Structure formats: structure tokens, C-alpha cells
Amino acid sequence: MEILSPQHWKDYELIDCGNDEKLERFGQYITIRPEPQAVWKRALPYSKWEQLAHVKFVPDSSSQGTWKKLKQMPDQWKISYDHLNFKLRLGLTKFKHVGVFPEQAANWDYIYDSIKKMNTPQPKVLNMFAYTGGASLAAKSAGADVIHLDAIKQVVSWGKENMEISGLKDIRWMVEDALYYSKKAAKKGILYNGIILDPPAFGHGPNGESWKLERDIDELLSCVFQMLDPKEHFFIINTYSLGFSSLILRNLLQSYKQLDSSCEIGEIVLPSSQNQMLPLGVFARAFRQAQ
């Protein structure tokens, strides 16, 4: 089993994690956020956390919450991913998120490197469940023709803002249900050289479509593997459901005959400055180069 973690990010640091929380630095600002995977004890005393942090997310009885500012900081700010030379606008949302899943930086590098290796001129890349677009920016930075698809209009707009502040252009934006789009595209015979999947455990499409990972992932993958250009492609899937083992991904890929020597499967983790390894999901990815 592979362990995947970011390697090149000066503007992000997981400082500590434990007691169901994590202490993170995004650029010059430090946050405290809930983290259900961090069931161990924190390494640093909590007084140190509060001394370092600018803001803490306080959940309420729903799935939302509020941010308690411990030091002065803006509600929105920008950070850079210098390794691929793009920028991200971050913000304090009511769902504890700030606009980026930093563990995905390792996949951004993989996307960029895979596109650069391809013999296909301007490879076509589809990024589904694309959120604020880190993977879309990585693909566009490498010269791909990119479609960014997400069911939530606000995060698609956020992704467009990230493209603009990064000095990039011509990503195509779609507010659409991923499974609905995949069925249509597969039926039409549309092919992509890269497909990125970052599905949540559950969610809803723009027209109320229901998504549940365990129920719908097999049907989605059936469509996705019809859309992958058989001559040259890369493929990435990440899952975050706590009960979703990497072996499930292995068996799914095997059932579609997608397991070969290029296929990597394992855990996505963030290493902390206190020598912890925070698991944040499982992944599978593969690359095929035209001969």
C-alpha cells in the first residue's frame, strides 16, 4: 500500500493534531479545526495551540459552525502553490473548510507531471467534484484543455476566481451532477485523457440529485472508464468516507480491469511538524502513455 503526502508547499503546514482537532498554517494565518481522524492526544499543550492560532472553528449542533478569532486576521486571504506557480483564495466558511484540501497537493504534482509526459497535443482533462479547483489549475498549468465540474455554483465561481488570480485562462466551468454528466458523456462516446474524481461520502446535485458514495461509485466508475481514452490517459480517485478501505478501491478497479503496474493505491496523509501522520482518505491513480 502506498502512502501519499505533499512534498513541495511552503505556504501550508500541519503543525499538530490530536484530541479530534488539527492546528494548521495557511500562509501567515494559523487555524484550529475539527478533525475526527485525530483520535490520539495532541503533541503540544493546548495553551500553545491557542497562543499560535489566529482563529478556531466552533461547531454547532448542525453540520455548521462559527469561527472564533483569537487574533486579528481577514475573512479571506491568498496563498501560493509555488511548485506549480498558482494561487488560491482562502476563506472562513460556515462548514469548517477554508477552500482547499491541502493533502491533494501530491495529486496536483501527479496531474501536472502526467500531462507533461503525454504525446497527445493539449490533452483533455475532466475534473469532477472539483471544488475550488486546485487540480484544475494544475492541469491547466501543464497545458491541458480542462473541464471543471461541480454541483455547487458557489465553489465553481470560487474556482474561477482562483484561475484568474493565478494568471490562467480558458478552463471550462460546469455546474452539473457528476453521475448525470458521466452517463451522458459515456453514451455520446466523449473521451478524456485525464479524469479526476474527488467524491464526497454524500451530497446533492444542482437539481436535487442524490449522491451516496457506497451506492453510486460503481455506476460512476462504469461511465468513467468508458470515457478514458484507451491510448493515453491518467486517472485519479480519492475517497474520504471513514469506512471506505483502499481494498474497496482495489477491488473496484480490478473489476474494470484497471489494475496494472502503473496503478497506485493507498492512503492520503498529512505529516505534521510533530512527526504524526494524519490519514485523510484513500486514493487510486494510474497513468498510460501512448506508444
* pLDDT, tens digit (0-9, with 9 covering 90-100), for 117-147: 999 999 999 999 999 999 999 999 999 999 9
Residue 113 pLDDT grade (very low, low, confident, very high; cuts 50, 70, 90): very high
> How much of the chain exceeds pLDDT 70, in percent?
99
State yes or no: pLDDT of 242 exceeds 70: no
Predicted TM-score (pTM) of the model is 0.96
- Whether 2 is in a domain gets the answer no
Terminal Cα-to-Cα distance of the chain (whole angstroms): 28
User: What are the pLDDT digits (tens) for 53-98?
Assistant: 999 999 997 779 999 999 999 999 999 999 999 999 999 999 999 9
Same-domain pairing of 254 and 152? yes
- Whether 233 is in a domain gets the answer yes
With CA atoms as reference, report the closest residue to 280 among 237, 238, 236, 249.
238
Report the C-alpha dihedral over residues 290, 197, 113, 122, rounded to 10 degrees: 60
Same-domain pairing of 171 and 279? yes
- The reported pLDDT for the residue numbered 61 is 77
3-class DSSP state for residue 241?
coil
User: What are the pLDDT digits (tens) for 193-219?
Assistant: 999 999 998 888 999 899 999 999 999
Same-domain pairing of 60 and 117? no
3-class DSSP state for residue 284?
strand
CATH code, 184: 3.40.50.150
Domain housing 46: 7-82
What's the domain count of the chain? 2
- Contact indicator for 274, 16 with CB cutoff of 8 Å: yes
Which of the listed residues 38, 54, 82 is the one where a domain comes to its end?
82
- The reported pLDDT for the residue numbered 64 is 92
Same-domain pairing of 112 and 189? yes
Same-domain pairing of 191 and 218? yes
Same-domain pairing of 117 and 258? yes
Contacts of 25 (CB under 8 A, 6+ apart): 12, 13, 15, 31
- Whether 94 is in a domain gets the answer no
Same-domain pairing of 129 and 259? yes
Same-domain pairing of 151 and 270? yes
User: What are the pLDDT digits (tens) for 162-183?
Assistant: 999 999 999 999 999 999 999 9
Same-domain pairing of 136 and 51? no
Query: Residue 244, CB half-sphere, CA atoms under 13 Å: how many?
Result: 27
State yes or no: pLDDT of 8 exceeds 70: yes
Same-domain pairing of 222 and 111? yes
Computed over every residue of the chain, the mean pLDDT equals 95
Same-domain pairing of 182 and 263? yes
- The reported pLDDT for the residue numbered 54 is 98
With CA atoms as reference, report the closest residue to 17 among 279, 240, 282.
279
Question: What are the phi and psi torsion angles at 128 (to 5°)?
Answer: -110, 150
d(CA 260, CA 253): 10
Same-domain pairing of 33 and 161? no
**Mean pLDDT, to the nearest integer, of 244-256?**
91
